[in-house]
Chain A
Amino acid sequence: MLYIVLFFTFFSFFLYVLLGGADFGAGIIELFASPKDKETARNISYRVLGPVWEVNHIWLIILIVILWVAFPGYFNVIMIYLHLPFVLILLGITLRGVAFIFRHYDAVVDRSQVLYNWMFRISSFITPIFLGMSFGALIGGEIIITEDYAGYSFFEIFIDPWLNYFTLLVGLFYATLCAFMASTLLIGETQGEARKMFSRKSANYTLLLVIIGLILVAYGYFTEVEFILDFITNPVSIGAIVLSAILLIPLWKSIRKQNRIWSRWLAGIQVVLVLFAAIYAHFPYIIITSEKELSLLEGVAPDEVISNLAIMLIIGGAVILPGLFHLMRSFNMIKILEKEKEEMKP
């Protein structure tokens, strides 16, 4: 039963990283695009992501619920020591969500659109950075777990662990990953000029991603971040990374050819490979503190709870996945030939 729960934990984690990430990415692309491209990106992201963007973010809620039900000890540590970045993430999610809906559902289209647009773009960029930083903090080895709160300063316990160069790099890496996924996804949803634009962006973001990834590993190596050291000495992780590097070649080819199906699959596989590589080397010790490594399974909930949760997840999955699949199929397949004007009114 524990394996079922673990499966769903990582399933929702990966899906959030991928789908939620693509969602953030659409905003990031908009932020860094030229004014003309901004307009295209805006309309396309509404049409493609609109029906599913809400669903994408529920994976985060599912993940949180699984963590607190099944891994309360682990959840407890995250919630105490990463309080501040989570406040920022929540702020980002809130502003982003409302900006998205406001800009598309405001009955009057006027100057306030400018505000909604910038709110949406900036929070799309900031939120994944903080998400990445939180993850970076968990593996960065700077968290101090203590009962003696008076013995340390506020900064040492609640700020330093998540605000340092390493976590910033992880944050940037994730934000770039988001932009990469979104542009690759959107290639398949567009035609003509817009498609060229996304192909170009996708290629650029891939390059940027590889560069930041290398800097991240190099930085981790030289400052002896344990997670990185273990990661680059673990044969399976290395294998996964090498595989994903090799896959870059067909990915680039398919992006150049604007092949929607292949570029999407390849991009998805690559991201999963990288994540897998990162987590595999350390599983189940996914919190690394200054003192010790904390296992996900430390303080795992009792068997009855785990079995109950597993059953709920299976039932939930059986209800949800077909519906979700149907939703994506219904709307992703709809061709984009309708006029812009049509798209503006729901």
Chain B
Amino acid sequence: MENVDFARLQMAFTLGFHIIFACIGMVMPFFMVVSHKKWLNTRNPLYLELTKAWQKGVAIFFVTGAVSGTALSFELGMLWPEFMKHAGPIIGMPFSLEGAAFFVEAIALGFYLYGWDKLPEKFHWFTGIIIGLSGVASGILVVSANGWMNAPSGFDYINGEFTNIDPVQAFLNPAWFTQALHMTLAAFVATSFAVAGVHAYQIYKGRRIELHKKAFKIAIVFGAVAAILQPISGDLSAKDIAKRQPVKLAAMEAHYETQKGAPLFIGGIVNEKEKEVNYKIEIPGALSFLAFGDFDAEVKGLNAFPQDELPPVAIVHYAFQIMVGLGTLLMLSGLFYFLSTRKKHWQSKKKYWLFFTFLAPLGFIALEAGWVVTEVGRQPWIIHKIMRTKDAVTPMPGMEFSFYMYVLVYVTLAITVTWLMRRQIKVLNASKY
């Protein structure tokens, strides 16, 4: 592997790490304020206990998100100096707004964590809302910057120079809305199912059932709603890509031959050398319909594009299958949850809780897979059709060491945070009310 490959791996790894913490940091505050509100309304001490336990979670995840994010803002420049030199000014607007959003979030967090019994109750609760809202805002803003890499706009590209820069147009690039919508929903899906799963497991184990049921309910309602909306938004994204990045669409579907009434492949093993997909299930016309809303529309295949502009097909295809498969499963689970609120006796079955425990990691797996689709599907471009990834990388050799170091540090961190969370739950279970 070359330097650029290690730089890409490092970027992928650190982003994949950050996104987990960022999502939890975005969504947990909402659970926290709901529980907090219930405490204010009912004065049931269980809600207070839950709020305080979740608040510790928010604090731990916030900091891990913040330090990994700080590392990222340096990394963009350290790994891709050529990219940042040209793209930095163009996509500066979402990033500078994001800086403001972080500030608001950190300030609100300061108030919230240290404000118990010191601030007026209502105001204190309200600062929790601000944490959540500013977290979502920062998520949307960075995704808009990523959207620009997929759908560069807001400048003229003449003889290798970027001129006539319009930061507002770059910010509101054609990809930002579908991506931001899909990402925000994904954050809710992934975090909610994960949190709900953790509490479901405690119920399954029969520990402090009353408390954990309250927690489960708050989390799963967010998750179920988002999971039901997710495929709709995913369909919007796919239609958008069909117009904007047809190569990516073709790679997602491992669709080699241009054809009318293109079939949708489910599963299948991609053979990149022979340019074919074996052992797949075909649904005739479905791809054309998904991409253009018309069963007969023509969908361009991979063979119709210059061969040096193709992304790695197999990875993108598999990742897409994983995302859509899990998305469907989670949507059905969301519906199942709402159904189960009508059929109370289901909830007394142990299997019910085991089922939700099993769902816990799936949202995050779908989310990582989705990012692989977006990012690997954009290759070989760092800026779609403008700049190649290999032309953007740092001239400094030895990126493999940097990559290994990050893996070591982040894996250690991840293990520690998981261990800390287990301790939080143990303490929560051990305390007696």
Contact = CB atoms under 8 A, between A and B. Distances in A.
Interface of A: 50-52, 54-55, 57-58, 60-62, 64-66, 68-70, 72-73, 75-76, 78-80, 83, 86-87, 90-91, 93-94, 97-98, 100-102, 105-108, 149, 154, 158, 299, 301-302, 304-305, 308-309, 312-313, 315-316, 319-320, 323-324, 327, 330-331, 334, 346
Contacts of A75: 77, 84-85, 88
Contact of B420 (A61, A66, A107): A107
Contact of B409 (A83, A94, A302): A94
Interface stretch (B109-117, B179-187, B262-270, B363-371): B109-117
Interface string B389-411: 00000111110001001000100
Contacts of A64: 73-74, 77
Given A94-B68, A107-B423, A154-B398, A305 B89 contact: yes
Interface in B290-348: none
A131 to B, nearest CB: 12
Given A327-B107, A346-B114, 5 more contacts: A68-B77, A87-B78, A97-B63, A323-B103, A327-B110
25 contacts: A61-B70, A64-B73, A64-B77, A65-B73, A66-B96, A69-B88, A72-B89, A76-B85, A101-B60, A102-B416, A105-B420, A301-B89, A301-B92, A302-B163, A304-B166, A305-B92, A308-B93, A312-B93, A315-B100, A316-B97, A319-B104, A320-B107, A327-B111, A330-B115, A346-B59
Contacts of A58: 99, 102-103, 106
Contacts of B119: 330
Contacts of B66: 54, 57, 97
Contact of A51 (B74, B113, B163, B394): B113
Interface residues of B, number: 70
B116 A61 contact: no
B118 A334 contact: yes
Contacts of B77: 64, 68, 75-76, 78-79
B103 A324 contact: yes
Nearest to B52: A346
A154 B76 CA distance: 22
Contacts of B59: 101, 105, 346
Contacts of B76: 68
Contacts of B163: 302
Contact of B107 (A87, A149, A158, A323): A323
A73 B85 contact: yes
A302 to B, nearest CB: 5
Given A90-B71, A316-B96, A346-B114, A80 B395 contact: yes
A312 B67 contact: no
B424 A107 contact: yes
Contact of B89 (A52, A62, A302, A327): A302
Q: Mostly helix, strand, loop or mixed at chain A's interface?
A: helix
A331 B111 CA distance: 9
Interface centre among B62, B73, B110 (most CB of A within 10 A): B110
B107 A324 contact: yes
A76 B103 contact: no
Given A316-B103, A346-B113, A79 B84 contact: yes
Contacts of B62: 54
A65 to B, nearest CB: 5
A154 B397 contact: yes
A107 B99 contact: no
Contacts of A320: 100, 103-104, 107
B95 interface: yes
Contact of B405 (A60, A61, A87): A87
Given A83-B394, A158-B396, A312 B97 contact: yes
Contacts of B115: 330
A106 to B, nearest CB: 6
B325 to A, nearest CB: 34
Q: Output the residue of A52, A54, A158, A327 with the most chain B CB within 10 A.
A: A54
Of the candidates A50, A65, A79, A334, the one having the most CB atoms from chain B within 10 angstroms of its own CB is A79
Given A101-B60, A304-B166, A86 B78 contact: yes
B73 A312 contact: no
A97 B167 CA distance: 33
Nearest to B401: A87
A73 B85 CA distance: 6
Contacts of A78: 77
Interface string B51-72: 0000110011011101111110
Contacts of A60: 70
B61 to A, nearest CB: 10
A93 B56 contact: no
Nearest to A91: B409
B92 A65 contact: yes
Contacts of B104: 319-320, 323
